[in-house]
Amino acid sequence: MALDTPYRAIFTDLLTDQTLDILPMRDVQFDDYIGKPGSLSGTIPIPDKAIAERVKKVREGRTAVYLERGGDLWWGGIVWTTTLQSSGRGVLTLGIQAATFDSYASRRRIRTEIKYDTPTDQLEIARRLWQELDVQNYPGAPAGEEPRRLGITFGEESSDYKRTVSWRLGDETVYQDALDQISKLENGFEYQILVYRDPDPNKNGARIKQLRLGAPKIVNGATDLIFDRPGVILSYSFPYDATRGGTTALARGASVNSNAATESRPLYSNQQVATDLLVDGWPLIDLSSDHNEVTDPLALDSIAGRELGESRGAVVIPQVSIHLGGVVPPQLIGRVARIRITDEWFSQGLDARYRIIGVKVTPPERGRPDTAELYLEEA
């Protein structure tokens, strides 16, 4: 990220959010997605001893980084990996690899008994899981010390579906897996940690990390964003992939065996079938997935149903590359984009609505424009 870039890289202490420094970065790329953590990579140049002392404050696993553009936060996450490197000419750099704050759920394990015997709103379960993994209680903490936190904030979203679920002490279930176990059920939900500045003028632009939930999907913004080609759309692709899709699905669960003398076999769902596709002429194409933590056959039916619904026939994730201008807002994930294309293929003109499920940004550098690649699904 060159010195004339519109982005600023702000490094903070992970648990206090206290600003450590604002440092120049180059060769920056960052992305964010619904359904999986986003990433950031870049290089901090170290031209002299003074800069080296400042860069030493960036410590993997303990430092957060935010990218700010025009006063808005476009990305935030945890620095997980750094690489100090010296070239043959003695040029020093520190390579940075970071992931969005939701990646923290993959670094924590459930080490307590969690049980929801009474049907509970699935979004409330997700909130409680995040509230629990956010608290930094640890053995040997000084008496009376307040628990440290990442500082995730929460909304009050609700859904129409309640779940009964439990996780046992000693199973070492990763929080990410627990969240996926309920979110990927049929009629499940999506989640993302959104970063932005507090709009309250009395909060001096405090950085907010908020868990955003949506059932069944996250939809952001009241109006459609409009992207045209010719126009702001630089390029596009529509990859149709029948190797990732199917017309039937089956989900396998945990192995259950009450008789030690017999072979242990996994539970499995009923086969889910996309009958309409088969009637339309599609062949049988089978999808299968394993969920070793699931012991409920009905839950496996639900998982198989959702997986088939998301991967019917040929899977397509359209991508459009756009020029980032002043009209493009920072919170693109979950927004609905109206894509309008006129060219040789779409001679009559494409005018379709898609939900943005992923964004990959390449900041301007060495004459390269500020661009974003949008990953889409039908709205």
Q: How many CB atoms lie within 10 A of CB 166?
A: 10
pLDDT tens column, 178-194? 999 899 888 899 999 99
Q: Which domain holds residue 305?
A: 243-312
- Judgement on whether residues 35 and 150 belong to the same structural domain of the protein: no
Q: Using CA atoms, how far apart are residues 73 and 40, in angstroms rounded to an integer? A: 14
328 located within any domain: yes
Q: Give the tens place of pLDDT for each residue, 77-91.
A: 999 999 999 999 989
Domain assignment present for 182: yes
- Residue 369 pLDDT greater than 90, yes or no: no
Q: Residue 13 burial (CB < 10 Å; 0-12/13-18/19+)? A: middle
* pLDDT category of residue 327 using cuts at 50, 70 and 90: low
The verdict on 229 and 366 lying in the same domain is: yes
Residue with tokens 């206290």: 18
Q: What is the model's pLDDT at position 2?
A: 46
Burial class of residue 172, CB neighbours in 10 A (0-12, 13-18, 19+) = exposed
Answer yes or no: do 256 and 333 share one domain: no
pLDDT at 3: 45
What pLDDT was estimated at residue 136?
A: 77
Residues whose CB is less than 8 angstroms from the CB of residue 335 and which lie 6 or more positions away in sequence, other chains included: 220, 221, 224, 225, 329, 355, 356
Percentage of the chain exceeding pLDDT 70 = 97
Segment 116-134 mean pLDDT: 95
Same domain, 282 and 324: no
What's the pLDDT at 189?
A: 95
Residue 327 inside a domain? The answer is yes
Indicate whether 345 and 231 sit together in one domain: yes
Burial class (CB in 10 A: 0-12, 13-18, 19+), 165: buried
pLDDT at 336 over 80: yes
Angle of helix 175-183 versus helix 122-134 axis, rounded to 10: 170
> Is residue 340 a contact partner of residue 228, using CB atoms and an 8 Å limit?
yes
Low-confidence winner among 279-283, 291-295, 336-340 (lowest mean pLDDT): 291-295
In order, the DSSP letters of 240-303 are EETTS-BSEEEEEEEEE-S-TTS--EEEEPPPEE-HHHHHTTPPP-EEEEE-TT---HHHHHHH
pLDDT over 90 (residue 305) = yes
Q: What is the number of other CB atoms lying within 10 angstroms of the CB of residue 345?
A: 9
pLDDT exceeds cutoff 80 at 138: no
HSE toward the beta carbon, residue 189, CA cutoff 13 A: 23
Whether residues 63 and 194 share a domain: the answer is: no
Residue 5 has what pLDDT? 62
**Residue 19, in any domain of the structure:** yes
Residue 240 reports pLDDT greater than 90:
yes
Q: What is the CATH number of the domain that holds 348?
A: 2.30.300.10
Q: How far is CA 136 from CA 15, 131, 151, in A?
A: 9, 10, 10
What pLDDT band is residue 324 in, cutting at 50, 70 and 90? confident
Question: Which of 79, 81, 84, 13 has its CA nearest to residue 45?
Answer: 84
Residue 97 lies in a domain: yes
Say whether both 296 and 351 belong to one domain. Answer: no
pLDDT tens readout for residues 41-66: 999 999 999 999 999 999 999 999 99
Cα separations (Å) of 289 from 42, 210, 240, 253, 268? Answer: 35, 31, 21, 9, 10
- Of the listed ranges 6-10, 55-59, 210-214, the least confidently predicted one is 6-10
